[in-house]
């Protein structure tokens, strides 16, 4: 089961005079990865290496370390633990002793893993998006039910047929929400086919 972090966490260690500070945190968009990076990276450090995974997309950077010795090892930790919507940034202050590629891989992998070990994990539920239409008379009821089932309104528009919404909800709540919507609208609600996100 995919999981994510509940909150940021960090781990620090010194390896052969180089200081490594690993930060891990939840991110839900590429914009959030940039914000997280800027909040933890140190421009005065030798390297700020990172990796993230969000909904099947992933990126990593060695930030000047030998190719494949930092970003990819950090990413491999996220993949091995099936973590999603998570970013790890490992900052290194060079201490004058070369670690070699193998030593760097071990340092970056170990730092990422230990930071994640300190974090609290949450299950990441599959989300569905679907369209929802109803007469204006049911507007308040629809919004109340969406809130009750933890559904998120993505867009909303009005036309002569009434209210049209795009809605996201976790898969476990989809059928319950649909049943409640049908019952509250006496079967008049229009529900589109759900798509997995």
Phi and psi for 95 in degrees, rounded to 5? -105, 10
d(CA 40, CA 10): 10
- Over residues 45-79, the pLDDT tens digits come to 999 999 999 988 999 999 999 999 999 999 999 99
Predicted local distance difference test score (pLDDT) of residue 118: 97
Q: Are 80 and 3 in contact (CB under 8 A)?
A: no
Do residues 119 and 38 share a domain? yes
Residues 6+ apart with CB under 8 A from 53: 75, 78, 79, 83, 84, 85, 86
User: Model pTM greater than 0.85?
Assistant: no
Q: Domain boundary at 123, 148, 174, which?
A: 123
For 86, the domain range is: 3-123
Q: Biggest alpha carbon distance in the chain?
A: 73
Predicted local distance difference test score (pLDDT) of residue 172: 86
Residue 120 is classified by DSSP as P
Do residues 141 and 110 share a domain? no
């Amino acid at each position: 089961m995919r999981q994510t972090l509940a909150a940021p966490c960090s781990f620090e260690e010194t390896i052969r005079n180089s200081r490594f500070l690993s930060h891990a945190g939840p991110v839900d968009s590429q914009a959030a990865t940039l914000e997280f990076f800027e909040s933890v990276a140190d421009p005065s450090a030798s390297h700020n290496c990172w990796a993230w995974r969000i909904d099947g997309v992933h990126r990593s950077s060695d930030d000047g370390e030998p190719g494949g010795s930092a970003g990819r090892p950090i990413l491999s930790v996220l993949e091995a633990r099936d973590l999603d919507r998570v970013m790890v940034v490992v900052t290194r202050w060079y201490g004058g002793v070369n670690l070699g590629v193998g030593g760097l891989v071990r340092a970056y992998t170990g730092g990422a893993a230990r930071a994640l070990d300190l974090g609290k994990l949450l299950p990441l539920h599959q989300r569905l998006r679907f369209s929802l239409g109803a007469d204006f008379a049911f507007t308040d009821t629809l919004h109340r039910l969406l809130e009750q089932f933890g559904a998120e309104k993505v867009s909303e528009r009005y036309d002569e047929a009434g209210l049209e919404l795009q809605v996201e909800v976790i898969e476990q709540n989809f059928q319950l929400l649909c049943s409640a919507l049908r019952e509250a609208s006496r079967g008049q609600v229009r529900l589109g086919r759900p798509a997995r996100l």
